[in-house]
């Protein structure tokens, strides 16, 4: 669900770690624990590897010691701000087959974009690249669901204007959901850019408020660990 997923969607070339969204069930925890044991992975930082922390929205961080994955970091989450429950994420997942035949279950594109809308500076360029990659891969044979996704999520003024001009009826239908589409027209680029920037910073502020109590809990866990 993180950088590796972005690589598989063609929006990145490299990621140093692997982020996983998991179902926090006892049986699944056993499978995950067995996989982590194979990787000789240990918990770094806080919180500890317990389901109660995952269900609150915290991530558990691991470092691998197996020679074939030495130093690789794995981050595990169950709950993310504004993102659907795991059962729906799983139903909407994308299956990708790697060159060696390995099949990877990747968070669906729309859900991945949603998960990447954080307060972190590094995530917003990735959001833009994810949507742009999807746009360029599909615009010549786009279906209505894809056009709707672009109108709701594109973060590049020029491409948003292009999409609005190419599918005007669809754009009109989405204006109630995303008011800045009223600015998706030639000559309004500066205003549209400002509106996109304001939209981004509104998301960042919401994410900061969401994480405020969780950061307090992390600080308490760090203090207890040092004590």
Has residue 164 been placed in a domain?
A: yes
Same domain, 101 and 63: yes
Q: Residue 5's pLDDT band (boundaries 50, 70, 90)?
A: very high
pLDDT surpasses 80 at 13: no
Its domain, for residue 199, covers 123-209
Same domain, 147 and 204: yes
pLDDT surpasses 90 at 10: no
CA dist., res. 192 & res. 79, Å (int): 32
Same domain, 127 and 151: yes
Same domain, 129 and 203: yes
Average of per-residue pLDDT across 165-187: 97
Q: Which parts of the chain are beta strand (E)?
A: 17-21, 42-44, 60-63, 73-77, 94-97, 103-106
What are the CB-based long-range contacts (under 8 Å, 24+) for 41-46?
41/65, 41/66, 41/74, 44/73, 45/222, 46/218, 46/221, 46/222, 46/225
pLDDT surpasses 90 at 150: yes
CA dist., res. 217 & res. 54, Å (int): 13
Same domain, 98 and 139: no
Has residue 220 been placed in a domain?
A: no
Average of per-residue pLDDT across 106-127: 95
Q: Residue 15's pLDDT band (boundaries 50, 70, 90)?
A: confident
Has residue 86 been placed in a domain?
A: yes
């Amino acid at each position: 669900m993180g950088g590796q997923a972005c690589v598989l969607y063609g929006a990145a070339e490299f990621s140093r770690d692997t982020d996983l969204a998991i179902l926090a069930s006892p049986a699944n925890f056993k499978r995950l624990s067995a996989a982590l044991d194979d990787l000789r992975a240990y918990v770094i930082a806080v919180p500890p590897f317990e389901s109660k922390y995952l269900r609150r929205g915290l991530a558990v961080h691991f470092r691998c010691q197996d020679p074939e994955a030495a130093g690789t970091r794995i981050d595990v989450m169950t709950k993310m701000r504004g993102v659907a429950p795991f059962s729906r994420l799983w139903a909407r997942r994308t299956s990708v087959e790697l060159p060696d035949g390995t099949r990877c279950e990747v968070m669906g594109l729309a859900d991945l974009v949603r998960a990447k809308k954080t307060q972190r500076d590094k995530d917003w360029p990735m959001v833009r690249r994810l949507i742009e990659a999807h746009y360029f891969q599909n615009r010549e044979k786009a279906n209505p669901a894809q056009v709707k996704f672009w109108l709701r999520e594109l973060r590049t003024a020029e491409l948003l204007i292009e999409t609005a001009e190419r599918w005007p009826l669809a754009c009109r239908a989405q204006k109630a959901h995303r008011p800045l589409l009223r600015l998706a027209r030639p000559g309004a680029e500066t205003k549209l850019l400002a509106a996109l920037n304001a939209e981004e910073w509104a998301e960042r502020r919401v994410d900061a408020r969401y994480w405020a109590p969780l950061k307090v809990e992390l600080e308490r866990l760090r203090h207890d660990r040092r004590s």
